[in-house]
Amino acid sequence: MVCLGNICRSPLAEGIMQNKINAKKLDWSVDSAGTGAWHVGELPDPRSIDVAKKYGIDITHQRARQFKAKDFDEFDYIFAMDASNYNNIRKLAKTEAQKEKVTMIMNWEKPDMNQGVPDPYYDSDGFELVYDMIDRACDRVVEKIGD
């Protein structure tokens, strides 16, 4: 799960997906990262922590890290939150196969629309919407590729 800072959207996406993995007992591992390095080592944004908690998900063990090329080897799917993240991740890919691992997460719900999960950093009211969008997309991911 990849966004820009790895403090708002992708930590929520990691927590939401981990929650579904646990519920369905899927043999998956999920992680999150940011394309930028400004917030490396930080906890998720308190507003993300709060909205996750509201839905029974604890994300306070997470710490921000930057996406690295090695992630292409370690993960089968790389979910970008928006088009900017998508383009920046794909620039780091060395092969077509690596590029193909990258998708925009909302395309799992609305194929080919290239809808971005809006960056809520400067919009405190946006976190609930972000949670809801990611939750719906993760449900589709589990339906499509879950065992």
**Residue ranges binding ligand 4NP (CB under 6 A):** 3-9, 34, 38, 119, 121
CB of residue 38 to ligand 4NP, shortest distance in Å: 5
CB of 48 to ligand 4NP, least distance (A): 8
Residue 122: partners with Cβ closer than 8 Å, 6 or more residues away: none
CB burial class (10 A; 0-12, 13-18, 19+) of residue 36?
A: middle
Q: Give the shortest CB-81-to-ligand 4NP separation in angstroms.
A: 6
Nearest to 82 by CA among 134, 19, 39, 122: 134
Six-digit token string for 60 = 């306070």
Annotated catalytic residue: which of 45, 71, 82, 119? Answer: 119
Which CB, 6 or 88, lies closer to ligand 4NP? 6
- The residue nearest ligand 4NP at its CB is 5
**3 is a catalytic site residue:** yes
| Spatial separation of the C-alpha atoms in residues 21 and 13, rounded to whole Å | 12
Query: Which is catalytic among the residues 3, 8, 45, 71?
Result: 3
Contact predicate 8/85, CB 8 Å: no
Could you list the active site residues?
A: 3, 9, 119
